Amino acid sequence: MVSLKPTSIQIPLTNGTSTRKETDGHPKTPKTPQDEAIAFFSGESDGRPVQVWELALEDDGGPGEGKDYIRLPPPTRPYVLRFSIRPGTNVTRNGVLKSDFPMDGGEFKRGDWKERRLPTDLSKPVQIDLPISAPGAFCYYIEYDGPTPSSPRVTGRKGYFNVDPIISLPERTPFFTSESVQNPLKDTGAGVVLPKSTNVSLDGLIILSVLAKWMGKSNEWEKHFEEASRRGYNMLHWAPLQQRGYSGSPYSIKDQLSYDQAILVTKDVKDGGVAEIEKVVKMAKEKYGLGSVTDVVLNHMAYDSPWLEEHPEAGYSPHNTPHLAPAVELEDAILTLSTKLPSLGLPTTLHSEGDLQQLIPAIRNAIDEVRLWEYYVFDVRSSVSEVGSSLLQNNPAPTPFDGNLSGNQSPSQLAEVLKHQSSELIDGYKAYSARYCSRVKPEIAAGFIQKAFPNESPENQVKKWGEVLDVLNVDLYAECNDDVNAAVEGIVGRLRFTRLEDGGPKLGEINQERPLVEKYFTRLPSNSTTSKHPKASLALANNGWMWGADPLKNFAEYPSKAYIRRQVIVWDDCVKLRYGTKREDNPWLWDHMIKYTESLASTFDGFRLDNCHSTPLELGVTVIDAGRRVNPNLYIMAELFTGSQEMDLKFVRELGINSLVREAYNGHDVKNFADLLWRFGLGKPVGSMDAACLSSSDELSPPFGKGPSRPCIVTPLQGSVPHAVFYDLTHDNQSPFDKRTAEDALSTGALVTFSRAALGSNKGFDDLYPKLLDLVTDNRLYEVSDPTKENGIGKVKRVLNHLHTQMMEEGYTEGHVHEEGQYIMIHRVHPITHKGYMLIAHCAFKGFQGRGWIKPIKLSRTNISYLFGASVCTDFSQWKSDPKTHKGIPSKLEEIAQPNIVQGQDHDGLYSEISIPERFDPGSIMAMHLMKNNDLGHPLCAHLREGTWALDYVVNRLQKQIGDLPRLSKPLQWLTERFDLIKSTCPAFMRPKYFALVIYEAYKAARRAVVEQSSEFISSGHSFTHDLALCSVQMYGLVKSASINPAKPVASLAAGLPHFAAGWARCWGRDVFISLRGLFLTTGNFPAARDHILSFGSTLKHGLIPNLLDSTRNPRYNCRDGPWWFCQNIQDYTKMCPNGLALLNDKVKRRFPADDTWVEWDHPRAFEYESSVEDLVQEILQRHAEGIEFREYNAGPNLDMDMRDEGFNQKIWVDWDTGIIFGGNRYNCGTWMDKMGSSDKAGNKGLPATPRDGAPVEITGLLKSTLTWVDGLAKAGKWHSKGVQATIKGEKRLVTYKQWADLIQKSFEKCYYVPADPSEDANYDINPGMVNRRGIYKDVYGTPKDREWSDYQLRCNYTLPMIVAPELFTPEKAIGALQIADAVLRGPLGFKTLDPSDSQYRGDYDNSNDSHDQAVAKGWNYHQGPEWGFPTGWFLMAYLKFDRIAGEGKKDPTRTMHYISNILQKHAHHIDHDPWRGLPELTNSNGAYCYDSCNTQAWSASTILDVLEEMHKIGKQ
């Protein structure tokens, strides 16, 4: 991979060369390369798209599930991390993104939180872009205002993102330059290191672990470099090179600041060998292409380090960790016993279990003699004496006890009181820090016992105190006995392992040098240096490990009893280091280790954190940050044994670990091994669709406010798992010969190279060492092989290691693992070219021989090129241990000839089939160049693999519509070309991927086209706005059975889907005109809006528009609110559409004659005359002013089988005292709450559940809106009439629009408002006896007296007039009523249609209910509680207005905006996750799913769009 860094930008050099050193030689911080991002994005664009990685945060501002850790690629070219948040979530309330990422360049400092304020315009996407040009580990969170002005700021959940380092290594010549490679095992010209650098991804790393002490002095290392490079390794992992302690272990470091004298050519130099090691490491990299990683050992130090004598505070001792004191005494007793065994007549060499059993009584006796129980218990005798002095001699005077004691409690009960309040009453309770450290001060004890026994004499009180202590001591003695028993068990267990068991080290005689126990404590020598320290500080706890321990709990610190219970598997050559949690806890140690890591970072390319799980997190963060300040591209790998993926993730994200060590030999059988390959090495499955499908093109604004906009590719982030460095075998684990078989090294080593991970191995694995080498005591040297005769499996490793790096760098990101019997097949595929490599491996676990059974491998539409095959034969009987050199098992590598590969053809086309050779012994492998099958499990994927029906369906469906929609021909051609190509060339297993790619690309283009052609409000909006805008496309389409023109196909608006998709049921007048503003006008689809206005206008009859249009053929006139929604939409059109007033002059052919006679649509009198739109509005006003009364045409069962005869009679009139329109009767339902009963069984057939006869509040509001509008137009000379003719009190006269409007204005609140204060009832037209809730507006005014109660029902309808005629409302009354509606009626998605406290409330709708319960039978409760979607938009629009006038938003309007936006989060979440991608018609109670609801409803989306558009306008202001 070639670096993509712009040539005009200077980046500080890395890998140590950027580090400047001051005169003391201490590395200092360079300028961070994050400054490159500023230069890049502020400069000129090169035209290439910028990668944008988008992380969608949850509504609380924190990362979503699985996204709290994000791993980003190395920034070889700057890219952007985008945080996106749903507008209106809580975190957008004055929200601030905080991160320790250096957003504005400059130096990175952990915990130095930089800020970016979240955008405040809630109608647009809330996004924060962070340009990335530097690696590292970073944290972020969002801080925002609380729910009320007085609430404190809220700190959100933290998330982490790690940016991979840029690893630059010398380039090499490739192995596989074409598909026809001739026997790569014999290719000697490939893999040559070139004098130019290339960037290598983490997956491209192949790491070889080496120990310098087995390589000789540094001037002898070059032959090892040559061998490692030849074998395809590109990184060396060096076990610690520092000065070793007495034990000889590289991990027992005596001096962190100097290198091991045994490996240095020049000894005792002033710099400790730094220059010599730097020189040889540099040579390995430049000449042999080998980068360098070294262990950083932070948890312990060699027990003989002089640093410890100077600074014993660096370790854990009874002085600074007092609870260790009894553990030291116990060990001293056992060490003393070790020297006394002969004198006690006990065996010193254990030959049997019987010998061991003889020692146990002596061990117990030695422990008993040191009286460890004194560290646990109270000194009863001493305490009783002291309390006696206090009670009898007032010395010291008793302290009165102010706790609750009854005066008759037993000693046992009093002991429980003391334990419960031990922190206040007992000093040193269970501290184990000294003998009898648990103590109650005599004055406190005296006061306590006085209150416990107030009527006893002082003498008896003293006695009682002793009894209480005796009770306390019972548990403490038992605790001590349990700890001692555990210690004895631990000692005996370790003796059995170290002296008797076959797998143990068989230590031999027990004596002073090899005592009964491994030493848990190092005793520092007594000398002039240590004499200045307290004696208790000179016994230091040694390090080790524990089975199943919590890695975040330090087993040396209180309250852990690991040392006293002898539970630590100890490394007795290493003292455990005591850091605390911050530098101030141990300044010298922290400074020393920071200096150590800075020195290493200036020399090496990376660190391996040894025993990372035991490293305090705070220290790990500090030293890694220190290393990265020196070398920003420092690579960090670590071994973790936490036993928990969650804990692994915590270390990775917080420390900034780049790779975790994983090991293939942890697989205990073939299936388990295959699982490991799948988990750590698969990458993406073959045919993956995620990145290709989800990425989209966009334009990136300059992140720093200057510079050009740039094209970009936006890819959503799905969360990350820790990257693996996948070892076939680590250097400190048993060999293949021990764990499986020697032959298995070949099959396992080969399979690992096909993983999508960094790789790791060790020389002993490649050379087939039979045993795990003891890195502590073994001082023999490696044997270096000759290039013409590689040891072990080196020749195969050379090919496969190079192939691995080549596959990783060329993008073979997809993989497939298949396990069958003792075989594993794994292959890697390039997601674009679909070229791939496959490996067939016969695993060699113990107990298996011969070829085994495996069926031929069949690959459809695949060409295969055989690369090579090999097997290895070993003969352990010929192996001999060499005293000077590490020798592998004698072996022979045999090549396998090309197997039988046949080609054929079946129903899926051409295929290739591979037959495994008859001789293919365990450990054998074959490598091939090919593509392979994979199974994506979704049923649609299976459907696509089985045939091409889905492709044909898409094309044929479009083909059928070309005649009516000719512009579909281009998309049809586009799809046809691609689908034909898929059908002719694509293997069946790849069809799902390519079908998804084509369909999703078409979807993205269509979605983009909709958004780009929509209004500015839509195009600049966030994804929720876009989703709602797409609902207008979803609802609006050409359905011939529902054309809004009877003579030709014209697109129509559906009320909802799927129930109202086609035919007469598709297009409803009321639904169209509640939906038209949001779906058509706010989106800018003015032609569609005009078409619907003209079509419905043509059918105006009786002063009404039809409820059901039925293509104007058979319209039905039974909705009293329809004409007023019609007028409102004409008003909205004239105000929102450019030149909208021209609509008023548009002519409409009238479907019916002027005398309202019913004629068929093709009758000569149909469409015989025309009116202007202005005429239509005037006709509606005039007909209502005169009064309307008619019987529906074709009344009876043919029109409505459920309605009673009286219901077909329509009557509407004006009360000219109030100006309010009344209408309807008990048996019809003329508003949107139009459920007609249909159950004979329950007795509701022919009875509307909600007739709302009288004056529904929303009709009054819509009427007032229309009157005010036309009055304004008349005054401006843009309306021809001045008013209407009406007969009032027998006199026919002109009523101007203003006069009519003023009547309504004057009477509205008097007629509709229900005052909050009963004392105001006289000012309003109410019946106090009917009032259920106060402070609201009536749902209806003037319901007949037999049902007057229905006026006072709390429903959602009074919010609509607040939008269209806000002048009718006193703001304070309005906001009060809205707050009640908010508290009582609002549900998660919709609004309850009835107050839950109402006796008629039934919240769950079931249209199939066939019970005898009238209230719910046949869904009679449709509008009696279920939560409808569209009134939510009414409410929010009203709240948006009145809260900013008279509510909380009066002082701070942003709080209103945030409150509304927060409510809309559930709607945004629903539409984002719902398969229908819309908002439902209704839900059942509390947002529960309603089976009978439309999944997506026009007006549900429309009214929310209205709200968002209003917020958008406010945001612009």
The residues, any chain, with a CB within 8 Å of residue 1237's CB and separated by 6 or more, are 1202, 1244, 1245, 1246, 1247, 1248, 1249, 1414, 1417, 1418, 1420
User: Which residues are marked as active site?
Assistant: 610, 613, 732
Tokens encoding 1259: 């009709």
Quickly tell me which residue has 């500090």 as its tokens.
622
User: What values do phi and psi take at 1295, rounded to 5?
Assistant: -115, 115
Burial of 65 (0-12, 13-18, 19+ CB in 10 A): exposed
Q: 578: closest CA among 179, 312, 296, 282?
A: 312
Residue type, 63: P
Q: 627: closest CA among 618, 616, 636?
A: 636
CB 168 within 8 A of CB 197: yes
End-to-end CA distance of the chain: 50
How far apart CA 410 and CA 467 sit, in angstroms, is 10
Q: Which residues pair with 998 in a beta bridge?
A: none
User: What values do phi and psi take at 283, rounded to 5?
Assistant: -65, -40
How far apart CA 5 and CA 40 sit, in angstroms, is 9
Q: 548: closest CA among 562, 559, 538?
A: 562
Secondary structure (DSSP) of 1134-1200: HHHSTTGGGGGG-EEE-SS-TT-----TTSTTTT-SEEEHHHHHHHHHHHHHH-EEEE-TT-STTT-
> DSSP class of residue 612?
G
Q: Torsion over CA of 1233, 1234, 1238 and 1239, rounded to 10 degrees?
A: 20
User: What are the DSSP E strand ranges found in 1227-1266?
Assistant: 1255-1256
How far apart CA 760 and CA 207 sit, in angstroms, is 5
Q: 1185: closest CA among 1214, 1144, 1154, 1152?
A: 1214
Tokens encoding 276: 């010599």
Q: 1288: closest CA among 1216, 1207, 1220, 1349?
A: 1216
How far apart CA 565 and CA 902 sit, in angstroms, is 67
> DSSP class of residue 407?
S
Tokens encoding 1237: 């009963």
Tokens encoding 1320: 């105001």
3-state secondary structure of 827: strand
CB 817 within 8 A of CB 678: yes
CB 870 within 8 A of CB 895: yes
3-state secondary structure of 58: coil
Tokens encoding 180: 């026809």
Tokens encoding 110: 């952990």
Residue-wise burial string across 21-43, b where 16 or more C-beta atoms lie within 10 A, e elsewhere: eeeeeebebbebbbbbbbbbbee
Quickly tell me which residue has 């001999």 as its tokens.
880
Question: What is the biggest distance separating any 2 CA atoms in the chain, rounded to whole angstroms?
Answer: 135
Tokens encoding 1437: 């629009």
How far apart CA 626 and CA 628 sit, in angstroms, is 5
CB 124 within 8 A of CB 34: no
